[in-house]
């Protein structure tokens, strides 16, 4: 099978089958340009105009995901796509190194046991392969690309109905090299002294696997349902793969540590977390340019909450370990909560989950707490059945406070989300009103002995709110174990939650949210919620 692409950062997906042969479980397909399909591209915003230079001013706070380089803020989902392209470009320049434009030619094959990938670009050629392990049942199957062969719960992945593609990222970008003599399939094409780090090289390899899957005709593996996961260094790689290829439907980084999910600014202040200089020097995971920021992360034009936000609104399940200080789980919870604000702005907050509340502290262990949300995520985002877990289970021992790291508010981006999907102003059960300040409650997730709730505070008036307070009453025996994006008075019985310094001003027609975890029973606040504004 083969296809050829124009040397252009973005082009419509315009492939059509010219011939298809299926024999002994092997699908082969030759493709040529045809009318554009509706499915997304590797980088949908590649045609957006991004300034060739310039970056936000240095700041100790997490950069605002919604403020463009020209200083204006996005207000629609369409505008977010080009803002996302800015983040994409800034992250390449400062953190990961460049991901080249799609190659001139990618060819390959897909069978029930193996995928082969052959790439030609700018007169150079390379190849690599990955093994396939199918679940029981009748295909074609969705697939999860598993980095590195350890730390991922492949038994649950297969039990959920997805195939496992075992991907050796070292074949594409090898560890144990100096920055000036990098090796692997990526560097065969783009040079051993390329400034692109291993994480982006591995992401490039993931994209080439997806290219071949798309060509295969879907006889063995589906062409439109792909996930990616990995643990530790491979968790770093899984996050980058999902952020930089919008064809990835489900991204699942596990215990990724510094250079992965944890906010880079926060890592520098988290006791015991791997320092930025250590992550940069241990292996050439990060791009060469990141060396300029290891001692001054405040100068970074991006941070990882924006990389998390790049995955939105697609499926994202972040699994973390609070028992190993080196992994920086507190900083990871900050970045996850910051990235969740992008999901919330797009009306897709149920599509992101973060889970660090686990008992077993062994690095990259297969954990029982994750099996449920892992299966739910595969069913929701790869099989199209059931609902996403949509849960934040943050370990109290490693819970970061997003409000301490941001001074920006989250807009409601028009053109995203669906009516009644939990967006502010749905007016569902438990809504209360006092003047122009309206509060609505929803249960994000529940389990035996607890639940996660979220309250949206909306300004239905014509002038800005200047502060707000939400009241709610918990059932007997319940108490708040964790609360973010608000400041609570009381943890049981009658609880009042007031705004933080950064989200007290709410524009007319806009909304802000806060979330919390309650222990001691799974029932929602029996009296609903009420809102007051001075």
Return the structure tokens found at 369. 């707490």
- 215 vs 48: CA distance, rounded Å: 27
**Residue 453 DSSP SS3:** strand
- 252 vs 315: CA distance, rounded Å: 8
Residue 122: exposure state from Cβ atoms within 10 A (0-12, 13-18, ≥19): exposed
| Peptide bond between residue 313 and the one before it cis (omega within 30 degrees of 0) | yes
- For strand 352-355 and strand 250-254, is the pairing parallel, antiparallel, or unpaired? unpaired
Distances from the Cα of 133 to the Cαs of 165, 166, 221, 373, 454, in angstroms?
Answer: 7, 8, 11, 22, 39
Instruction: Give which of 404, 421, 399, 403 is closest to 412, Cα–Cα.
Output: 421
Cβ contact 213:115 at 8 Å: yes
**Residue 370 DSSP SS3:** helix
State the angle between helix axes of 233-243 and 198-215 in degrees (0 to 180), rounded to the nearest 10.
Answer: 60
What are the beta bridge partners of residue 132?
A: 165
Which residues have C-beta within 8 Å of that of residue 267, sequence separation ≥ 6? 258, 273, 274, 275, 276, 297, 328, 331
CA 394-475-347 angle, 5° bins: 50
Instruction: Give which of 340, 332, 486, 459 is closest to 395, Cα–Cα.
Output: 332
CA R_g for the chain: 23
Cβ contact 223:217 at 8 Å: yes
Cβ contact 340:351 at 8 Å: no
Return the structure tokens found at 449. 């002995």
What are the beta bridge partners of residue 32?
A: 16
Q: Where are the beta strands (DSSP E) in 337-403?
A: 352-355, 392-393
Catalytically active residues are 232, 363
8-state DSSP, 94: I
């Amino acid at each position: 099978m083969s296809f050829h692409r124009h040397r252009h950062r973005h082009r419509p997906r315009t492939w059509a089958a010219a011939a298809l042969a299926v024999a002994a479980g092997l699908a082969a397909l030759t493709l040529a340009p045809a009318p554009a399909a509706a499915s997304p591209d590797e980088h949908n915003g590649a045609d957006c105009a991004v300034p060739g230079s310039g970056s936000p001013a240095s700041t100790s706070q997490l950069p605002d995901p919604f403020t463009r380089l020209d200083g204006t803020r996005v207000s629609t989902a369409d505008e977010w796509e080009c803002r996302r392209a800015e983040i994409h470009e800034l992250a390449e320049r400062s953190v990961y190194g460049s991901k080249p434009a799609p190659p001139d030619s990618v060819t390959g094959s897909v069978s029930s046991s193996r995928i082969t990938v052959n790439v030609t670009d700018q007169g150079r050629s390379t190849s690599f392969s990955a093994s396939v392990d199918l679940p029981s049942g009748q295909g074609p199957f969705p697939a999860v690309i598993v980095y590195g062969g350890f730390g991922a719960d492949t038994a649950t992945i297969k039990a959920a109905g997805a195939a496992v593609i075992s991907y050796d990222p070292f074949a594409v970008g090898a560890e144990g090299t100096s920055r000036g003599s990098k090796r692997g399939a990526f560097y065969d094409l783009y040079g051993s002294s390329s400034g692109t780090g291993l994480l982006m090289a591995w992401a490039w390899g993931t994209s080439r696997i997806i290219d071949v899957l798309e060509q295969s005709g879907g006889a063995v593996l589906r062409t439109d349902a792909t996930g990616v996961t990995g643990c530790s260094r491979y968790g770093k790689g899984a996050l980058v793969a999902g952020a930089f290829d919008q064809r990835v439907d489900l991204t699942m980084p596990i215990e990724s540590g510094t250079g992965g999910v944890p906010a880079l600014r926060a890592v520098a202040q988290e006791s015991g977390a791997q320092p930025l200089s250590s992550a940069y020097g241990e292996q050439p995971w990060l791009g060469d340019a990141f060396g300029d920021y290891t001692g001054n992360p405040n100068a970074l034009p991006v941070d990882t909450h924006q990389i998390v936000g790049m995955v939105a609104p697609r499926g994202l399940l972040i699994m973390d370990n609070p028992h190993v200080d080196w992994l920086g789980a507190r900083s990871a919870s900050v970045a996850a909560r910051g990235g969740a604000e992008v999901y919330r702005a797009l009306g897709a907050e149920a599509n992101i989950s973060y889970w660090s509340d686990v008992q077993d502290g062994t690095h990259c262990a297969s954990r029982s707490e994750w099996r449920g949300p892992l299966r739910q995520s595969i069913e929701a985002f790869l099989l199209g059945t059931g609902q996403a877990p949509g849960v934040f289970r943050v370990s109290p021992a490693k819970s970061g406070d997003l409000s301490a790291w941001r001074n920006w508010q989250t807009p409601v981006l028009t053109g995203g989300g669906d009516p009644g999907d939990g967006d502010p102003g749905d007016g569902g059960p438990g809504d209360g009103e006092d003047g122009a300040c309206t509060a609505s409650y929803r249960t994000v997730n529940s389990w035996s002995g607890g639940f996660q709730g979220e309250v949206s505070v909306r300004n239905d008036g014509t002038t800005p709110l200047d502060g707000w307070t939400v009241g709610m009453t918990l059932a007997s025996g319940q108490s708040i174990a964790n609360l973010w994006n608000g400041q609570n008075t009381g943890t049981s019985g009658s609880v009042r939650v007031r705004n933080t310094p950064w989200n007290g001003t709410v524009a007319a027609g806009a909304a802000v949210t806060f979330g919390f975890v309650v222990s001691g029973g799974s029932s929602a606040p029996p009296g609903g919620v009420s809102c007051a504004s001075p």
